[in-house]
Every structure is written in C-alpha cells, then in structure tokens.
C-alpha cells in the first residue's frame, strides 16, 4: 500500500526563494520590504511577550478585524485572518475544491496556485497571459470552481484594472480570488468589488507593505456568507498572540506603511530606468519588484549565478515565458545601486568577450 496519495507523489511542490544563512547579502529575491515595520510593532510585541502566553489567542483575531474594518471601511464580519495569505488560499481550496474540480488562473503567475491545485487533485485551466499581461480572454466565463488572479501579478508586477476584474467576476459561477499581496504599491485595488459580487474574495498580506514577512499574517475580505463557510475549515487558532499583536500595531500605523510604500515606488522607477539603460526590457510594475528581460546575448541564469557570487540575490524562474527574465525586488537606494553596478560590470565583461 502506498504511503501517500498518488497526486502528492506526482507533484513537485512549491519552492520558496533562497534564504541565506550568512550575512552581508543584498537580498532582492523574495520581495521583502527593505524598511523596518512601524515602531509600534516592537512595543506591541514587548507587551504581549510579558503577558500570559500559556493561554490560547483569540480564535477569530477580533482586535485585528475591528482595526482593519475601521480603516478599510468594511464590516469586521467580512474579514478573516490567517497565518499569512497562503493560509487563506489553503482554506479556500479546502472549502471549495473537490478532486476533479477545475481551478483556473493565468500563466505565468504565483506558483503556489498550481501546488494547491495539485494537492487538491484538481484539474487546471492555465490561460497564457498576452505579452502585455492583460487579462486572458480564455478566463472570461470559465467553469472553474475557483479562479485566481494575483493583482498585481507575480512575477510580472503588472496589474489588471479593477473594471476588467469586475467583468470577470460577473462572468463566473465559481469563486474569484483576487490576491492583492502587493496592492499597497499600486494605484488602485479591488476591495469595492466585495460590495457588488458575492463570489469575490480579496486576499491581502502584511508581509510586503507592512514589513512583516517574518510574522506570517494575512487576511481575506468577502461577503459574510463566504466568510462563514471559510471559518468552518480554518485551524482552531490559526494566528498566535504575537502575530495578532504585531498585525494590529502595524495596520494601525497607516502613515508609516504609506511612507515606506512611496519610498519603494520611487526606487522602483530608479531600478526600472537603470535596468533599461543597461539594455533590459522591463514590464511596467505596480508592485515592489520588477520583471526584466535580459539583453540580447546575456544569459539570465548565468547572471543569477554571477550576482550570487557577489552576494547579490535576485530571482530566476526556469519556466516557459520567463526563462530569459530576472525578477528583482526593489531595495533601498544603496541596494539598488549595488545591483545596477554589478549588472553593468557583468554585462560589460560579456560584451568584451564577444569582441
């Protein structure tokens, strides 16, 4: 008898970005925020660490729901907290997807969607993005149980207008998940769609714009009947006291988050312009990273290796459509300068060898 389900044996699983154990790296490979979280976070963590940690946390993270509801203008009952937004995605799959059901998403996008579909033994409708990363027409009116759109998208950083996603939501009988992990770096969001569509779930995380990737906290927003069903499949206590305290403190300090997000947007423009000056083609990003196609004659995986030797980390995906591209997180100004200087040196050496 096999110890594991056949679909689990067949899948490769999600591969996270490299996390170095040494210090001294310019780390631009996992879309972490280069700036620290709000000072309120440390104060909140210090306070809760001195509290009674032997007791379970609030099972519904009610303090966060109240704060987020007030700031976002949403009823707290429409908010569900999770152990990162990936936890929210797992709940959606557990509640909505049975073996053999169809899951739909564009390609290329966040690879966890494929892993979750394979875990669920679901069929996959993967519709190729056009070159400009606009919404694939094949997704309109599809028959999937769940359709997932990362907006802004990863790895491209591009964004589909909210009006276009409203059209998509209205065409679907199943759930539309709009994954807004990077939305605080963008010009618009899809939260207003919650009022119009009972089949829309918007997911967010505090990992990126709130500088809390090490805490693991995310949340979903949807109409109450959807939240009620997702609650049934969540872990009893899926956020702990420390993460709840940090999330409440960080979310309460919107001014701090907005300031850092604006700094990242400014450096995003610097990074994109610097890459284009070196011969890269860069897609217009609404995120805290850019996707850049390497200049003619330059090898993306080789540049990745050479940059790592110089302790500069970026991300490369050895997959169709992006195997000649590099995804680069927007770092602090000195990190962006270091990356561009290294790339300029490497590309100059490549050109000299050819001549």
Give mean pLDDT in consecutive 10-residue pieces for the chain, a chain of 355 residues: 86 82 91 98 93 91 98 98 97 98 98 96 98 97 98 98 98 98 98 98 98 97 98 96 97 98 98 98 98 94 97 96 97 98 91 60
Candidates 75, 131, 133, 125; CA nearest to 101 is 125
pLDDT tens for residues 244-267?
999 999 999 999 999 999 999 999
User: Where exactly does CATH 3.90.1150.10 map onto the chain?
Assistant: 21-35+255-354
Q: What pLDDT was estimated at residue 14?
A: 80
Give the CA diameter of the chain: 69
* SS3 state of residue 179: strand
Q: What pLDDT was estimated at residue 189?
A: 98
Candidates 288, 257, 261, 258; CA nearest to 272 is 288
Torsion, CA 37, CA 86, CA 177, CA 287, rounded to 10: 40
Q: What pLDDT was estimated at residue 49?
A: 87
Query: Which tokens belong to 314?
Result: 């970026």
User: Where exactly does CATH 3.40.640.10 map onto the chain?
Assistant: 39-252
Q: What pLDDT was estimated at residue 51?
A: 80
Candidates 97, 83, 129; CA nearest to 110 is 129
Q: Assign 3-state DSSP to the chain and report helix, strand, coil percentages, each to 5.
A: 40, 15, 45
- Fold entry, domain 21-35+255-354: 3.90.1150
Candidates 162, 235, 238; CA nearest to 200 is 162
Phi/psi class of residue 192: alpha, beta or left (left: φ > 0; alpha: ψ in -120 to 50)?
alpha
Q: What pLDDT was estimated at residue 354?
A: 63
Which residues, including other chains, have CB under 8 Å from residue 93's CB and lie 6 or more apart?
116, 117, 119, 120, 122, 146
Which residues, including other chains, have CB under 8 Å from residue 107's CB and lie 6 or more apart?
126, 127, 128, 129, 321
Phi/psi class of residue 291: alpha, beta or left (left: φ > 0; alpha: ψ in -120 to 50)?
beta
Q: What pLDDT was estimated at residue 15?
A: 79
Which DSSP letter does residue 136 get?
A: P
- Fold entry, domain 39-252: 3.40.640
């Amino acid at each position: 008898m096999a110890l594991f389900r056949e679909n689990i044996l067949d899948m490769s699983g999600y591969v996270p970005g490299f996390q170095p154990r040494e210090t001294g790296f310019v780390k631009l490979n996992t879309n972490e925020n280069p700036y620290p979280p709000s000072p309120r976070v440390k104060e909140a963590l210090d306070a809760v660490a001195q509290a009674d940690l032997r007791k379970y946390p609030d099972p519904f993270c009610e303090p966060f729901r109240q704060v987020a509801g007030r700031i976002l203008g949403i009823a707290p009952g429409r908010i569900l907290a999770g152990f990162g937004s990936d936890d929210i995605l797992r709940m959606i799959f557990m509640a909505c997807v049975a073996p053999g059901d169809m899951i739909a998403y564009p390609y290329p996008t966040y690879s966890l969607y494929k892993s979750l579909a394979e875990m669920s033994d679901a069929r996959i409708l993967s519709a190729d993005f056009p070159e400009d990363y606009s919404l694939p027409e094949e997704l309109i009116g599809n028959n999937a149980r769940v359709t997932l759109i990362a907006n802004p998208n990863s790895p491209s950083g591009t964004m589909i207008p909210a009006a276009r996603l409203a059209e998509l939501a209205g065409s679907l009988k199943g759930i539309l998940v709009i994954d807004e992990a990077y939305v605080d770096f963008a010009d618009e969001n899809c939260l207003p769609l919650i009022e119009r569509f009972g089949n829309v779930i918007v997911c967010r995380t505090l990992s990126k714009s709130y500088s809390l990737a090490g805490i693991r906290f995310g949340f979903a927003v949807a109409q109450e009947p959807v939240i009620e069903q997702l609650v049934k499949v969540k872990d009893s206590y899926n956020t702990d006291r420390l993460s709840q305290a940090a999330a409440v403190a960080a979310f309460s300090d919107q001014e701090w988050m907005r300031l850092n997000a604006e700094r990242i947007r400014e450096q995003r423009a610097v990074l994109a312009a610097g890459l284009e000056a070196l011969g890269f083609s860069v897609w217009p990003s609404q995120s805290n990273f850019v996707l850049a196609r390497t200049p003619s004659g330059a090898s993306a995986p080789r540049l990745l290796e050479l940059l790592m030797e110089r302790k500069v980390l970026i991300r490369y995906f050895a997959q169709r459509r992006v195997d000649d591209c590099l995804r680069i997180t927007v770092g602090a100004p000195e990190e962006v300068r270091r990356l561009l200087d290294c790339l300029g040196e490497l590309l100059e050496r490549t050109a000299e060898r050819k001549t």
